[in-house]
Amino acid sequence: MPFAFSPGAGLVPGRFRPLAEILVAILVLAVCASLVLGSAGTLAPLTTITSRPIRLDPAWLPYYALRTVLRMLAAMAASLLFTFIYGTLAAKSRRAEPVLIPLLDVLQSVPVLGYLSFTVLFFLHLFPGRVLGAELAAVFAIFTSQAWNMTFSFYQALRTVPHDLEEAARAFRFPAWQRFWRLEVPFAMPGLVWNMMMSMSGGWFFVVASEAITVGDRSIALPGIGSYVAVAIARQDLRAVGWAILAMTLVIIVYDQLLFRPLAAWADMFRVEQTAREPARAWFLQLLRRSLLVHGMVFPASLFLRWLLRARLLNPPPSSASRSGRSWLLDIVWYGAVLVALLWAGNVLVHFAAKELHWSDIETTFRLGFYTLLRVLILVVLASIIWVPLGVMIGLRPRLAEHVQPLAQFLAAFPANLLFPLAVFLILRWRLDPNLWLSPLMILGTQWYILFNVIAGATAYPTDLLEAASEFRFRGWQWWRRAVLPGIFPYFVTGAITASGGAWNASIVAETVSWGDRTLSAQGLGAYIARMTVAGDYPRIVLGVAVMSFFVVFFNRVLWRPLYALGERHFRLD
């Protein structure tokens, strides 16, 4: 039967416990104070940060960590809203899907530096002379490292909702609004929560580029761990790098315990299965559920949301017979408008870039793109071989997942910039080829998408199907081929798509590394875009981003999309 999804689910107060209530009150006050302190300087003049350099004194790290976390949480909220709107349109609209999914391929292929090159000036002019403009530019850059894999995950879940659940929703006569919140969102929630963890980690991976912004002759260093790391690398201060790693570790542990572990335990209620298994646990979630203070705070909002979810909004559309007469006309208008928009965008790009570009520039970018493509393919294959079995093992064992979750988040969040000292030292010490030995830095932006999505798929795998496989005595490769791999296949494809996009993005920071005044570069499109961004060469930035988008979209169309369609047709939990 459909899920019973309610915003206040589980928040049933227990008996009054003074120590627990005091702890909750302290946490609520701490959150409020953090919001006030972290947002206090956003409306200040921009000169307050441009004239105040980042200090490497560890005493400043708590404040820098707070500013970074608030930016990442703001980007996460924007990513979640984008996911619900964009993913739903792509999954539900026959006309929008052929446009939105290729567009999403393009959006995830555009590197963070590509967005920053053009959005920084926009946001700075939107709030001239104010810190808020630079803050919005940083939040948008972090948003671009978070939103795409969450949207792909939600889209994949909406396209693979089991038919029996859809039939039950129709039997209950749920309108589209109630079906979305009572069936589709809960079904997507386990995978979405794990992708939210990955998105937060992805934000950490690009936090240096997001906070220490350099485009042409314009440099802005916002207070945050990313700017702290950038200054430490520029000054070759290993001690400061160590303090930054420690601060990141503590922050990741805190938001794992207070945010993601409770979310994962809550999302575990929405697994599709007929047999029971041991539920996931989270001490903070239990504390919130039993707190009279929390219950009193959320009760009014819970009543409103319950009423909103029960409202019969978005009633079913008219029957196909009544709209068939105008369907072909709407198709012509829609696809005609899309074609006009594409021609206009192509014309703008050509006129923008053609004045200073030559055919040799195009040949160079495509050649460098093939080098980066080769690295991406090898890393995705290696990451799949390593992390699919481990992800299944972790996802099928809730207790193990609880212990691995914070470690995986930390490793996924570890910025490649912090490995630059080691990479530069080893390559120079042993006279290694940067074209080969800088490639492992890219795997930091590749493997975790596959691991987190496979864990999400294994976590959502019904226990009754595992019991059936045991009854049929599936063993070894037969167990993988006939039971587990079909069940996690859509999740793996989602992870592989976002992993390849993550690897292309990681090439920006992995193909050119610096430590002090020493810089090593590998031949590749990422290094090309990084150089053009530092030089402020906008036509060649556009060319590099366009060629990178072409490679990503072409590869997705040729390989990943057919696999995606295969998963929708043959590997659904029906």
d(CA 472, CA 402): 30
Domain membership of residue 383 (yes or no) is: yes
| Residue-number span of the structural domain to which 378 is assigned | 18-309+356-570
Indicate the number of domains in the chain.
1
Mean pLDDT value of segment 228-256: 87
Q: Is 50 exceeded by the pLDDT of residue 161?
A: yes
> Backbone dihedral region of 314: left (phi > 0), alpha (psi from -120 to 50 degrees) or beta?
left
Q: How confident is the model at residue 216 (pLDDT cuts 50, 70, 90)?
A: low
Query: Which CATH number does the domain housing residue 541 bear?
Result: 1.10.3720.10
Domain membership of residue 547 (yes or no) is: yes
Q: How confident is the model at residue 32 (pLDDT cuts 50, 70, 90)?
A: confident
Exposed (0-12), middle (13-18) or buried (19+): which is 386, by Cβ within 10 Å?
middle
Domain membership of residue 470 (yes or no) is: yes
Torsion angle (degrees, nearest 10) of CA 192, 507, 143, 80: -10
Q: How confident is the model at residue 2 (pLDDT cuts 50, 70, 90)?
A: very low
Determine the pLDDT at residue 88: 93
Q: Is 80 exceeded by the pLDDT of residue 409?
A: no
Domain membership of residue 314 (yes or no) is: no
* Tens digit of each residue's pLDDT (9 = 90 or more) over 57-90: 999 999 999 999 999 999 999 999 999 999 999 9
* Tens digit of each residue's pLDDT (9 = 90 or more) over 165-181: 888 888 888 888 888 88
Q: Which residue's structure tokens are 């937060």?
A: 200
Mean pLDDT value of segment 333-357: 76
Residue 322: how many other CB atoms lie within 10 Å: 9
CB 515 within 8 A of CB 429: no
Q: How confident is the model at residue 454 (pLDDT cuts 50, 70, 90)?
A: very high
Mean pLDDT value of segment 285-299: 78
Domain membership of residue 67 (yes or no) is: yes
Q: Cβ contacts of residue 97 below 8 Å, gap of 6+?
A: 90, 91
Handedness of CA 33, 38, 42, 46 (dihedral sign): positive
Domain membership of residue 337 (yes or no) is: no
d(CA 348, CA 468): 58
Selected residue with higher pLDDT from 320 and 80 = 80
Say which range, 22-31, 263-272, 316-325, has the weakest mean pLDDT.
Answer: 316-325
